[in-house]
């Protein structure tokens, strides 16, 4: 029986994957880096420590990883304060599931970004636990962020259902032993192998209902 739901953030509740990508690519061009076509896919799901190090070492940005991290976060915060790109149906999906289960959030975003988004969207009151991958040893696809979210909720991972959109996110939740509900990101869809790890695949947040959670639990 499911006793807790853990949501991803970027690409699932927030139409933000391309904003992260654009901010990092722009910074790379401005600071001597060599952007390449696999950079976005490589960094998707990485913690801030991991992707800022990647930009310094692999992309060749001259700034230190700490400086890269701070500048990208600053740019994202400015964009979100101007217009928060909340995905249609996100608020309703969160409220709908919060009526039945305690909710957690397992995100690759930095802690300041998570807190700002939940404040601007007025969704923080629905989440009993939120975890940034910068607060655990490894980012997605490692299971660390989902395991920590379950621990903070006080629910064993096999009693949790995770809601994800990306290949690394799906792998992370599956590795944590959770039932996985996938709502594939249309711009950056998960690969076939990741989709096959999901217990239920939905087309949109509108389909994320208690019944869909039950189907995922039965399939897990």
Catalytic residues: 8, 10
201: left (phi over 0), alpha (psi -120 to 50) or beta: beta
Cβ proximity of 44 and 118 under 8 Å: no
Side-chain-side CA neighbours of 206 within 13 Å: the count stands at: 2
How many residues in the chain? 220
Closest CA to 69 of 94, 52, 57, 85: 52
d(CA 69, CA 66): 5
Measured distance CA(77)–CA(115) in Å, rounded: 11
């Amino acid at each position: 029986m499911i006793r807790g739901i853990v949501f991803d953030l970027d690409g699932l509740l927030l139409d933000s994957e391309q904003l992260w990508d654009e901010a990092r690519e722009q910074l790379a061009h401005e600071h001597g880096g060599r952007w390449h076509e696999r950079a976005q896919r490589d960094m998707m799901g990485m913690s801030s420590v991991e992707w800022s190090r990647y930009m310094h070492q692999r992309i060749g940005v001259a700034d230190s990883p700490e400086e890269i991290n701070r500048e990208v976060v600053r740019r994202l915060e400015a964009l979100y304060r101007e217009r928060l790109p909340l995905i249609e149906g996100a608020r309703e999906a969160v409220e709908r599931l919060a009526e039945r289960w305690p909710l957690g959030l397992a995100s690759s975003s930095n802690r300041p970004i998570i807190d700002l988004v939940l404040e601007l969207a007025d969704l923080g009151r629905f989440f009993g636990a939120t975890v940034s991958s910068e607060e655990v040893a490894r980012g997605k696809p490692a299971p660390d962020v989902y395991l920590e979210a379950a621990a903070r909720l006080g629910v064993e991972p096999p009693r949790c259902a995770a809601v994800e959109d990306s290949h690394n996110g799906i792998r992370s939740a599956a590795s944590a032993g959770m039932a996985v509900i996938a709502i594939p990101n249309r711009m950056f869809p998960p690969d076939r192998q990741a989709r096959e790890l999901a217990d239920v695949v939905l087309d949109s947040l509108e389909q994320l209902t208690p019944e869909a959670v039950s189907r995922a639990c039965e399939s897990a």
